[in-house]
Structure 1
């Protein structure tokens, strides 16, 4: 079955399903094949990670360490993985040879943030996804921009991408975390509703889009992992 048709069929099948049901089906879907969760261990990541720990804790979880993340994120990643009993967390890093060739001084983000994201995030993740037929993300429509119409299932290159939390509100995320007593990323309390690499992340005001602090002042809205039709996502001018 063509991937686009498979994604559309699964989205239709789960149009009224709860997130945990979407996740449970995804990790055992023979039509998709082997699947991994890709997690930033960011502001809201613990919700989906907790669901996975209850359903299939041995599922591979890919965490891309760009080597420019906040120390708080690196510590949080280790603590959450241990707390939830996730047994196959794979830390993915950029290739050393590529860094030496293309960003030896670590300043690429200043003059070409798209190239920096490709080097440190997109390319390492693509290598790590080799052999997987699909991957699970924590993206939500409330993030705005191109995510405002996010489907539960979508074709992404040669794989299926699953977004179990697509329809969730921020209030629902907060309620879930509180109800299950889950640890929050320590930077959330400091005004960071979306947390990426240190040079390209700033706090966001309560009346701003949750991702307003990412690449602030630039048209860029995505790191490149979530390209749409091969194009880098931009803010409307």
Structure 2
């Protein structure tokens, strides 16, 4: 026998499974040399025809199923609260949540809250005010904020919001959360706030909205009855109940209540505003001119708002070194 033959024989012996086959079979375990099987063996992939194939590495199976709207509303009602409001921006989701809660909740709503962001369309606010008349509910406008938190004041210091979660959150806090908090200080006790947030809207929303649709934040309890719905579910509900959506939503595919520029498509958004809502288009361009001047004079605060971009709604992120434009 040649050296090559000896080598092949040794290799075959090394690869021989206890069952006698030349490769380890799925149904056997290697011997430890003492006639017993090793208890600790590496993982094996399931057969492609196995019934367990769909469960292999399944993360979705470990995620709790999102509760149904009525379950969420019932759980919210079981909590202790002193007043209940529906947050409505004029978009499809918040309008559907308002309508569903008004019709199906075991508790009455004390009113509707519209948050004036300082950078939204007047038509969005008017639509929500009309909803209040239809539901016979008072519409409260939350628009009180510190001067430093006003949109115009901020963008002249920091530039326009860039395409990051941090800058988007900064805009949310200044444009919506702070005015809401100030408004609620006029009411005693715990506030139940109906939101149109859905888990299917985006990855960020999926993480932010819990499976039970309820989030506690101090004296505020946010309730998202439509947490499990997709956009198709929302559209079907509105059509089924004959709810007229706002013209803004039809034209812009958004509520139009906050056009701060975070994550926005600059050219698409501006062209739509120029065509349908020229007054806001003109206002935003005037703000751009101010930011350009601030950048030219090196007046933008780079360090305090590093997530912002001089390009309002641009997909490019800058450190304010060039001229910021839309």
Which TM class, normalised by the smaller chain length?
0.5 to 0.7
Matched, 1:74 2:120: no
Matched, 1:146 2:201: no
Q: Secondary structure at the match of 2:90?
A: coil
TM-score, normalisation: structure 2: 0.50
Query: Given that residues 109 and 116 in structure 1 are in contact (C-alpha distance below 8 angstroms), is that contact kept between their aligned partners in structure 2?
Result: no
Matched, 1:168 2:229: yes
Correspondence for 2:322 = none
Gaps of 5+ in 1: 1-11, 205-213, 220-237
Matched, 1:123 2:178: yes
The 1:119–1:193 alpha-carbon spacing in structure 2 relative to 1, beyond 3 Å, is closer
Correspondence for 1:63 = 114
Which of 85, 88, 95 is equivalent to 1:39?
88
Superimposed CA distance per residue, residues 15-45 of structure 1 (whole angstroms, 9 cap, x where no aligned partner): 675313422542x334355443322222322
Superimposed CA distance per residue, residues 35-80 of structure 1 (whole angstroms, 9 cap, x where no aligned partner): 4332222232221111232244543322111232112202211112
Please give the alpha-carbon distance, in whole angstroms, between the structure 1 residues aligned to 2:252 and 2:216: 33
Which of the two has higher C-alpha Rg?
2
Please give the alpha-carbon distance, in whole angstroms, between the structure 2 residues aligned to 1:170 and 1:102: 32
Please give the alpha-carbon distance, in whole angstroms, between the structure 1 residues aligned to 2:254 and 2:96: 14
The 1:63–1:153 alpha-carbon spacing in structure 2 relative to 1, beyond 3 Å, is same
TM-score, normalisation: structure 1: 0.66
Query: Given that residues 42 and 194 in structure 1 are in contact (C-alpha distance below 8 angstroms), is that contact kept between their aligned partners in structure 2?
Result: yes
Correspondence for 2:143 = 93
Written as runs of structure 1 = structure 2, the 5 A alignment for 1:1-237 is 18-26=68-76, 28-54=77-103, 55=105, 56-85=107-136, 87-95=137-145, 98-99=146-147, 103=150, 106-109=152-155, 111=159, 113=161, 117-130=172-185, 131-149=189-207, 150-151=209-210, 152-193=213-254, 195-200=256-261, 215=313, 217=315
Query: How far does residue 124 in structure 1 lie from its aligned partner after superposition?
Result: 1.2
Moved segments of 4+, more than 6 Å:
none
Query: How far does residue 216 in structure 1 lie from its aligned partner after superposition?
Result: 5.5
Q: Secondary structure at the match of 2:131?
A: helix
Please give the alpha-carbon distance, in whole angstroms, between the structure 2 residues aligned to 1:129 and 1:218: 37
